């Protein structure tokens, strides 16, 4: 994503190393997204010396990246296992944790980037000495702190489960590049080099083992599709019978394709069900190779890089395929925020349910979205995606489904295609709806929130409504926006008033000789300001509770107020005023979007073509 912070920057000697510790204690998918962001930074700042912290279980990918200087693995099982099994008390594990951390605290880092966004990682980041820290950390009193804008955004909006449309890889990339630019100067290199490539990893394949594997003996005259059967959670996993129906469709219509099954040990029973189900459809299971349960990272990455397509749910496989430049059909089931964690790059497809799902709304019920995303729908989407080079997307997906006799499957689906925006359009990945449908208010909110975030943290942003077309605006959206128009005016006034009161609080307390001993009248006045600010915050929260698209501001306000840094009242007043100004600017951008969308929805006067002037003979 393009970024140009407005603070002054200096050039830095390109040979001076920047010692950077990256903390990624989340899962493999998050590690892969972090690696893409790091690759972008390393291309621009080759002097970055990257030390990467990961759980041992998820460290394999980072270990295969040649430009990472060191991978520090957290032996989770060795430290936590005995405590979880009750063999040790948690205090006994402390010395092991201290020993593990010890090498990381010997010398201050130039930069510590905590990309785990978790409670545990904030303690680790708090412990490690560094000149600059990004992400969640701990203050001196050990209370929780997130110190930079993008971390506030992740805490308030992403983890607050509010609508927004910036991909996590773009957030991480922009966060790091902005900090590097501010603290270490302009990059030595310029470049729009892609962050994905087939040679992203230096894989170590055991040749003797590899030669005897089913994959090595595959029919190389066929094209191969990888099915990643499972995900980390049952509610996000498509049933094996659906996968078998999909394979059946592919084998019937496309003799040139075979399928390789991927998955861990947990997926072995799924693979068995898949194979039995496929056999019951009289389909030759010899067109399937199962590597389920036997895929080391190296073999897994090697297979994914050699496949034409990867079909997968919300799992690390989509990030691995993205990194390696293999096209993805992402079958997005269950409560997935695919606009943040979907496949990264051009030409990937995301398929999800378009119908309300009781399971996604209420954890205790069954996910109907598993069945509304049908094998026929996924197959028709794939045939559309795989033949793009022929039809060049000049035929619509609606026409394509109709041609294949699967039109009835389309209504229940949402289908999106990923695209990397041009730098001039703001950069980053965007998912465009392939089906022509009006925007829902939540889609509109996600666009607006993404735009506000880029205005807040990138310093430059394309014009309001840049990616909004008239045809996307429905009467229902207009009705919603009319209500939001009125409420956002009120919210803007709330923050305007809050700025003014916070400034008065600052001025008043700055003029006091002491913040502890003061006249009763002064104390009462300060209390009044404090009470008034609390009332305004509550009002903003109520407005957000009534109108969900505005909830982002009260959520953001809580995070900003939690992260005020000063211990002195006058400084807190100044910082609060700055925070309210930040929110006020955001609300004003929101209002511009409302205004622009309502304007765009107005009927246009059509100028009729001038009547043809006929030449008449004199």
Partner 1 sequence: MAADTGLLQGELNENPQGQELEVEKLLIGFLRALLDEQDPKIGAPLPEVAAK
Q: Which stretch binds partner 1 (CB under 8 A): 11-19, 109-117, 236-244, 397-405?
A: 109-117
Cβ within 8 Å of residue 546, ≥6 positions away: 487
Number of residues engaging partner 1 in binding (CB under 8 A):
89
Among 203, 216, 435, 455, binds partner 1 (CB under 8 A): 455
Alpha helices in 138-224 (DSSP H): 149-153, 168-184, 207-212
Q: Is 161 in the site for partner 1 (CB under 8 A)?
A: yes
CB of 141 to partner 1, least distance (A): 7
> Among candidates 223, 214, 274, which has minimal Cα distance to 248?
274
CB of 436 vs partner 1, minimal distance in Å: 29
Q: Are strands 18-24 and 48-55 parallel, antiparallel or unpaired?
A: parallel
Radius of gyration of the chain (CA): 27
Kindly state whether residue 222 participates in binding partner 1, applying the rule CB under 8 A.
Answer: no
CB of 486 to partner 1, least distance (A): 27
The answer to whether 90 contacts partner 1 (rule: CB under 8 A) is yes
Question: Could you tell me the two tokens for 240?
Answer: 């094996």
Q: Which residues of 230-257 are buried (b: 16+ CB within 10 A; e: fewer)?
A: bbeeebbbbbbbbbbbbbbbbbeebeeb
Cβ proximity to partner 1: between 13 and 84 the closer is: 84
- 337 is an interface residue for partner 1 by CB under 8 A: yes
Under rule CB under 8 A, residue 492 binds partner 1: no
Question: Least distance in Å: CB of 77 to partner 1?
Answer: 11
User: Does residue 62 bind partner 1 (CB under 8 A)?
Assistant: no
The residue written with tokens 């698209």 in the block is 549
Residue tagged 């913040």 (tokens)? 515
Per CB under 8 A, 264 contacts partner 1: no
Is the CB of 98 or the CB of 284 nearer to partner 1? 98
Enumerate the β-bridge partners of residue 429: 420
Q: Are 9 and 185 in contact (CB under 8 A)?
A: yes
> In 10 A of CB 366, how many CB atoms?
12
Q: How far is the CB of 608 from partner 1 (least distance, A)?
A: 46
Instruction: Say how far apart CA 167 and CA 148 lie, in whole Å.
Output: 18
Q: Does residue 120 belong to the site contacting partner 1 (CB under 8 A)? A: yes
The verdict on 459 binding partner 1 (CB under 8 A) reads yes
Q: Which two tokens stand for residue 286?
A: 């010899």
578 binds partner 1 (CB under 8 A): yes
In the region spanning residues 532 to 551, those forming contacts with partner 1, defined by CB under 8 A, are 537
Closer residue to partner 1 (CB): 377 or 426: 426
- Compare residues 468 and 583 and give the one whose CB is closer to partner 1: 583
Which residues ranging from 386 to 425 are in contact with partner 1 (CB under 8 A)? none
Nearer to partner 1, 306 or 558 (CB): 558
Using rule CB under 8 A, residue 124 touches partner 1: yes
Q: Which residues contact 94 (CB under 8 A, 6 or more apart)?
A: none
* Choices 158-166, 318-326, 397-405, 483-491 (CB under 8 A): range interacting with partner 1: 158-166
Q: How many CB atoms lie within 10 A of CB 214?
A: 12
Which residue number, 299 or 448, has a Cβ lying nearer to partner 1? 448
Indicate whether 88 belongs to the interface with partner 1 (CB under 8 A).
Answer: no
- Rounded Cα–Cα distance for residues 83 and 220 (Å): 49
323 near partner 1, rule: CB under 8 A? no
User: Which member of 46, 49, 72, 79 binds partner 1 (CB under 8 A)?
Assistant: 79
Q: Classify 316 as helix, strand or coil.
A: helix
Pick out residues in 176-215 that bind partner 1 (CB under 8 A).
Answer: 178-179, 182-183
3-state SS, residue 262 = strand
Q: Is 69 in the site for partner 1 (CB under 8 A)?
A: no
Judged by CB under 8 A, does residue 530 bind partner 1? no
* Closest to partner 1 by CB, 172 or 303: 172
State which H helix or E strand residue 38 sits in.
Answer: helix 28-44
Looking at 404, 562, 591, 595, which residue binds partner 1 (CB under 8 A)? 562
160 binds partner 1 (CB under 8 A): yes
Other residues' Cβ atoms within 10 Å of the Cβ of residue 98? 11
Token pair 């991978």 is found at: 71
Q: How far is CA 521 from the centre of its chain?
A: 50
Among 145, 307, 331, 360, binds partner 1 (CB under 8 A): 145
Which of 23, 37, 50, 132 contacts partner 1 by CB under 8 A? 132
Pairing type for strands 327-332 and 349-353 reads: parallel
Which of 44, 71, 156, 439 touches partner 1 (CB under 8 A)? 156
CB-count exposure of residue 540 (10 Å: 0-12, 13-18, 19+): buried
CB 83 within 8 A of CB 93: yes
The gap between the terminal CA atoms of the chain, to the nearest Å, is 65
- Does residue 154 bind partner 1 (CB under 8 A)? yes
Part in contact with partner 1 (CB under 8 A); list of ranges 98-106, 201-209, 365-373, 441-449: 98-106
Residue 366 within binding range of partner 1, rule CB under 8 A: no
Query: Is there binding between residue 155 and partner 1 (CB under 8 A)?
Result: yes
Residue 597 binds to partner 1 (criterion: CB under 8 A): no
Q: What DSSP designation does 6 have?
A: S
Site for partner 1 in 300-319 (CB under 8 A): none
- The pattern of x and - marking residues 19 through 38 that bind partner 1 according to CB under 8 A reads ------xxx-xx--x-----
* Distance from the Cα of residue 238 to its chain's centroid: 22
Q: How far is the CB of 498 from partner 1 (least distance, A)?
A: 13
Q: What does the alpha-carbon distance between residue 478 and residue 483 come to, in Å, rounded to a whole number?
A: 9
């Amino acid at each position: 994503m393009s970024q140009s912070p407005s603070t002054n920057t200096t050039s830095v000697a390109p040979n001076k190393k920047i010692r950077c510790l990256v903390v990624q204690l989340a899962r493999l998918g998050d590690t892969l997204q972090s690696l893409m962001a790091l690759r972008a930074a390393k291309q621009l700042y080759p002097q970055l010396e990257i030390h990467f912290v990961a759980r041992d279980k998820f460290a394999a990918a980072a270990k295969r990246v040649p430009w990472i200087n060191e991978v520090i693995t957290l032996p989770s099982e060795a430290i936590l296992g005995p405590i979880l099994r009750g063999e040790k008390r948690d205090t006994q594990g402390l010395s092991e944790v201290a020993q593990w951390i010890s090498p990381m605290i010997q010398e201050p880092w130039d930069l510590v980037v905590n990309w785990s966004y978790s409670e545990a990682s904030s303690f680790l980041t708090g412990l490690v000495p560094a000149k600059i820290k990004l992400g969640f950390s701990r203050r001196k009193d050990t209370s929780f702190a997130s110190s930079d804008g993008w971390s506030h955004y992740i805490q308030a909006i992403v983890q607050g489960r509010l609508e927004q449309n910036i991909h996590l890889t773009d957030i991480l990339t922009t966060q790091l590049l902005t900090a590097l630019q501010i603290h270490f100067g302009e990059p030595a290199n310029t470049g729009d080099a892609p962050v994905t490539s087939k040679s992203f990893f230096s894989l170590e394949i055991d040749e003797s083992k590899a030669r005897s594997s089913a994959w090595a003996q595959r029919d190389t005259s066929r094209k191969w599709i990888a099915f990643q059967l499972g995900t980390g959670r049952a509610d996000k996993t498509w049933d094996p019978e659906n996968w078998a129906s999909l394979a059946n469709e592919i084998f019937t219509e496309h003799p040139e394709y075979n399928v390789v099954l991927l998955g861990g040990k947990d997926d072995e029973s799924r693979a068995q069900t898949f194979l039995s189900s496929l056999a019951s459809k009289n389909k030759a299971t010899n067109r399937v190779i199962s590597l389920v349960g036997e895929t080391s990272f190296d073999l897994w990455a090697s297979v994914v890089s050699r496949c034409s397509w990867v079909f997968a749910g919300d799992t690390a496989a989509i990030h691995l395929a993205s990194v390696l430049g293999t096209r993805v059909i992402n079958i997005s089931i269950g409560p997935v925020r695919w606009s943040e964690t979907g496949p990264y790059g051009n030409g990937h497809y995301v398929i999800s349910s378009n119908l309300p799902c009781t399971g996604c709304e209420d954890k205790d019920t069954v996910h109907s979205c598993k069945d509304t995303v049908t094998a026929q729908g996924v197959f028709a989407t794939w045939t559309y995606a795989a033949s793009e080079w022929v039809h060049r997307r000049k035929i619509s997906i609606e026409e394509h489904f109709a041609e294949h006799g699967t039109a009835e499957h389309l209504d229940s689906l949402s289908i999106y295609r990923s695209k990397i925006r041009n730098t001039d359009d703001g950069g980053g990945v965007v998912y465009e709806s392939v089906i022509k449908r009006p925007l829902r208010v939540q889609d509109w909110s996600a666009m607006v929130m993404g735009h506000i975030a880029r205005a807040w943290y990138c310093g430059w942003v394309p014009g309001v409504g840049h990616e909004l077309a008239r045809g996307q605006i429905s009467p229902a959206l207009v009705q919603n926006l009319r209500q939001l128009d009125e409420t956002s005016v009120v919210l803007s006034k709330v923050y305007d008033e809050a700025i003014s009161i916070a400034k008065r609080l600052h001025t008043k307390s700055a003029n006091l000789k002491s913040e502890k001993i003061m006249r009763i009248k002064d104390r009462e006045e300060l209390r009044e300001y404090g009470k008034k600010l609390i009332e305004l915050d509550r009002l903003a929260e109520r407005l957000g509770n009534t109108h969900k698209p505005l909830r982002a501001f009260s959520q953001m306000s809580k995070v900003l107020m939690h992260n005020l840094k000063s211990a002195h009242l006058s400084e807190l007043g100044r910082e609060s005023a700055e925070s309210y100004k930040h929110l006020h600017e955001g609300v004003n951008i929101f209002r511009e979007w409302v205004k622009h969308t309502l304007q765009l929805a107005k009927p246009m006067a059509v100028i009729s073509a001038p009547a043809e002037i006929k030449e008449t003979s004199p």
